[in-house]
Structure 1
Amino acid sequence: MHTNESFDRDTWVRLNADYPGFHNFVLLDWVANGDRAAGRAHVTGVSQGQVQHFEVATFITVRDQLIIDMTEVWTGVEETAPEGTRPY
């Protein structure tokens, strides 16, 4: 799903700081070339008293030192691949 949301810097920081259940964000890897960057992170959150783990891929485009486009792809760590998609 693509939300087409747009945030200024302060609103983006506040949204993430106040997000319900947000616990921790660890940037594990990143690469950049010119105006494009990609990162891989591990995020934890708490929902109904249970810690949840997520892996996140983020793709960013920058112009004039501002993020003009960002796409994030989230998956839960506990999710499993569909039957028959793993060779083992």
Structure 2
Amino acid sequence: MAQSNDRHHGNKEKSSRSSLSLDISADCAVCLSKISSAEPLQVLPTCHHGFHAHCIDAWLVLHSTCPLCRANVPFCSPQRAGLVSCYV
């Protein structure tokens, strides 16, 4: 019996969960510091990865991709209306 192409290449199946969950004990991939509940967090619209607001702002000045997965982050306006800001 042949293995599926995904198993052969070591790909994991995607979760069927539709809700967005954030791990507030995670590190910011830009500055490598812990993300605390007192700091503003911005979530990218395409991949839903979260970062310190000031870190991802600085990153997106130089790059148009997510620092974790390299998904394209569309530039909408100076206010980047596509980003979601929140406190965790």
Greater per-residue strand proportion: 1
Greater per-residue helix proportion: 2
TM-score, length-scaled by structure 1 = 0.24
TM-score, length-scaled by structure 2 = 0.24
